[in-house]
Amino acid sequence: MTKTGTLFRLLAVAALLPLGACDLLIAFDGLVAGMQYDLSQGYDASNQDLALFTGELWHGGSYDFADLPRGIVDPEDQNFEWSEGHKARWTAEDGLRRMRATYESAGTPEVFESNAQVAEAYMYAGFANRFLGEMLCATAIDGGGEEDHTVHFTRADSNFTRAIEVGGRANAQSIVTAAYGGRATIKVWLGDWAGAVSDAQQVGLNDSRILPYTNEVANDISYETSIPA
C-alpha cells in the first residue's frame, strides 16, 4: 500500500470517530434514564415492606405478607429488595465506568469531568448507596465478601462529592443542590455533624428533587394506602 493510500484510510477512520463518539454520547440519555428507573424500582421494592415490619404501616388487606407485619423478616423476604437495591447501585456505578471509557476512547476525557449527565449519574449512584446503607445491616458488593452496611455511606459520600464537582463545572445547579442535600444526610450517618450542617446550608428551604414513578414502576405505598376519588 502506498503512503497516499495509508493516509487516505487513516483520514477516513479519523472522520468516522467523532460521529461514532457523538452517537454514543447521545445514548447516555438512555443510560442515565435507566439509572433513574432502577433507583425508583429499588425504592418501590422496599419501602412498603420496610413500613410494614417497622410498624409504620399495618397490613389490613388480603395480601399474604407472611410475618412482615409482626416485624419478623426471613431470608426469603429480603431477596427481591436486596437485588433491586443493588441493581440500582450497580447500574449507576457501572454506567459511570462506561461513560468514562467512552469519553476517554473519544479522546475527550476532560468532557467527562464537566458533563451534566455524568454529574446526574454520580448523584443517582450516591442515592442508591445511601438507600442500601440505610436498609441493610450487612452487604456484599459485586461478588465480594461480607461488609458492614456503612461501606455504602462511604461510597455515597464519594459519589455525592463527585456530583458536586462535575455538576459545578457543568453549571448543573439542580444536580449540585440535590447532591449537597444527599451528602448532608450521609454526613449525619457518618457522625460528621459540622459537615452535615455545612452541606445542608447549600440547600434552600424550597429546594426539592423528585424521583418520578412511571407506569412501569408504580408507587406501591401510595397505591395501597390511597382511596380512589
DSSP-derived letter for residue 75 is G
Q: What pLDDT sits at residue 3?
A: 41
pTM of the model: 0.80
pLDDT at 20 over 80: no
Helix, coil or strand: residue 192? coil
Give the amino acid at 43. Answer: Y
Q: Is the pLDDT of residue 14 over 80?
A: no
Quote the cell numbers at residue 9: 484510510
Phi, psi of 211, rounded to the nearest 5 degrees: -100, 105
pLDDT of residue 87: 93
- The amino acid at 136: L
How does strand 138-139 pair with strand 147-148? antiparallel
Taking each helix axis as running N to C, give the angle between helix 173-189 and helix 151-169, from 0 to 180 degrees, rounded to the nearest 10: 160
In angstroms, rounded to a whole number, what is the distance separating the alpha carbons of residues 223 and 219?
6
Using the predicted structure, report yes or no on whether residue 207 has a pLDDT greater than 90: no
Alpha-carbon distance of 134 to 26, in angstroms, equals 34
